[in-house]
Amino acid sequence: FEERDLIGNAARLETSFQAGIRSFADHPLVGEARGTGLIGAVELVADKATKRPFAKVGRVGAIAAGIGHEEGLIFRAIGDQLALCPPMISTEDDVKEIMTRMGRTLERLTGAVAKEGLE
């Protein structure tokens, strides 16, 4: 723990990780993007303006988890909230790659939601 300065590394990565998480706030399926440290969450909603949830809670989150897995990204879908928590040994390049893969996941999810007519 101390030998690798994991706490210090997490503190150094916090700004870029949180900026990456918050960059998803403008996505049409995202009602809220939030976090602290190396913990982040993206809340998926059917209606961005009202933040109305999807009718079948958890369905879109499950689809997102499957797409994320295909993109090589592991996160936890808790209902329609996607929780990300990279390892404390992550690097700045890892954070950039995580955000790139999450962006691709959300873009693919938009198509899947439209195709399946989920609301």
pLDDT at 23 over 70: yes
33-84 per-position pLDDT tens digit: 999 999 999 999 999 999 999 999 999 999 999 999 999 999 999 999 999 9
Asked whether the beta carbons of 29 and 23 are under 8 A apart, the reply is no
Q: How far apart are CA 38 and CA 15, in angstroms?
A: 9
Among positive and negative, which fits the CA dihedral 19, 25, 28, 32?
positive
Beta bridge partners of 82: 42, 77
26-37 per-position pLDDT tens digit: 999 999 999 999
Pure H helices in 1-119: 6-22, 59-70, 92-116
CATH among 3.30.70.100, 3.40.920.10, 3.90.1150.10, 1.20.1560.10 for 6-116: 3.90.1150.10
Tell which residue, 11, 48, 54, 13, has the closest CA to residue 33: 48
Please, which residues have CB within 8 angstroms of residue 85's CB and are 6 or more apart in sequence? 38, 39, 40, 75, 76
What pLDDT score does 3 carry?
85
What pLDDT score does 2 carry?
80
| pTM confidence score | 0.93
